[in-house]
Amino acid sequence: METIGSQKIWSFFDRRGCQIAKNTAVRQGAGHRVGSYLELATKIAELQFLNRDHVLLFRGQGTDHRNVKDNSSLKPSLFRAGRGNPDRATLLARFETLKRAEQILIADYAKAKLLGVERLKRHRILRWSILQHYEVCTTPLLDVTHSIRIAASFASLAETSTAFLYVLGVPNLSGAITASAEAGLQIVRLSSVCPPSAVRPHIQEGYLLGEYPDVAGHEQKENYFPYEMDFGRRLVAKFSFTPAKFWNNDSFPQVPRSALYPTETSDPIYRLALGVKKQLGG
């Protein structure tokens, strides 16, 4: 994927206010401190106004994971290995597990007679989307959301003293799947690719980011440098906050865990995903 900010972008990433910066400075920053949800939302509104060539998506985490160069790292689960990169044997095993999971998902999805089975059979990115979002196995996709509140709520679940919210810039979205050859990105809108019975992605206003073209196996992955597989390259801004003090306004309460993660009783796709994971031995 292309690095955002080769042309300079407007950003928040340290103690100073909104400023022009490059992507590397954003990733190396400690995170712009905000005291409340309203302050965060106001500053993100400023970012969207100033960076009007990008659509902003969000990811919340309890930890600011760094790579060996001490840059914030936002890798898909399949390519994670601490501060470094997984070795060849690990990647081969992960890709093989992903392939098996896809086959099981198609079979179980068809048995359940859920809407969209033909699309699921045809489009690998849709299979990956369900497997990633329901945490069945590692995939080349990264979970993000269009909702600031959802992202901040996820960041707060870890119950750490400091949480982080990342703002990522992507090209203009069009339809269920946006593929940008220029940016080297695919953006999947989960509400458009998952059936109505999939409660979780609709509640979470979920999107997934992936490389374009797909990195479908270890052989294709070897055509990329490891740093290219890191969505930290799309960071526009980085915020930090104290969860215990952040949700102090009744007008903007934290979304509880029970709402972010519907049970298998209320979400049939979650129930199906649990079955796939069990068959994988997970």
For residue 100, being part of any structural domain is answered with yes
Domain extent, residue 235, equals 9-280
196, exposed or middle or buried, with CB in 10 Å at 0-12, 13-18, 19+?
exposed
CA pair distance 177, 184, nearest whole angstrom: 13
pLDDT tens, residue order, the chain (282 aa): 667 655 679 999 999 999 999 999 999 999 999 999 999 999 999 999 999 989 999 999 999 999 989 999 999 999 998 777 888 899 999 999 999 999 999 999 999 988 888 989 998 989 999 999 999 999 999 999 999 999 999 999 988 999 999 999 999 898 888 988 888 899 999 988 888 878 888 889 999 999 887 766 555 555 455 567 899 999 999 999 999 999 977 788 999 998 898 888 888 899 999 999 999 986
For residue 3, being part of any structural domain is answered with no
What pTM was computed for the model? 0.92
Number of domains in the chain: 1
- How many other β-carbons are positioned within 10 Å of the β-carbon of residue 75? 20
The two tokens of residue 109 are 């999805």
For residue 87, being part of any structural domain is answered with yes
For residue 4, being part of any structural domain is answered with no
Contact 134, 271 (CB under 8 A): no
Check residue 223 and give its pLDDT.
46
For residue 1, being part of any structural domain is answered with no
Contact 190, 200 (CB under 8 A): no
For residue 213, being part of any structural domain is answered with yes
For residue 61, being part of any structural domain is answered with yes
Task: Look up residue 107 and give its DSSP letter.
Answer: H
For residue 253, being part of any structural domain is answered with yes
CA pair distance 123, 85, nearest whole angstrom: 28
Check residue 227 and give its pLDDT.
65
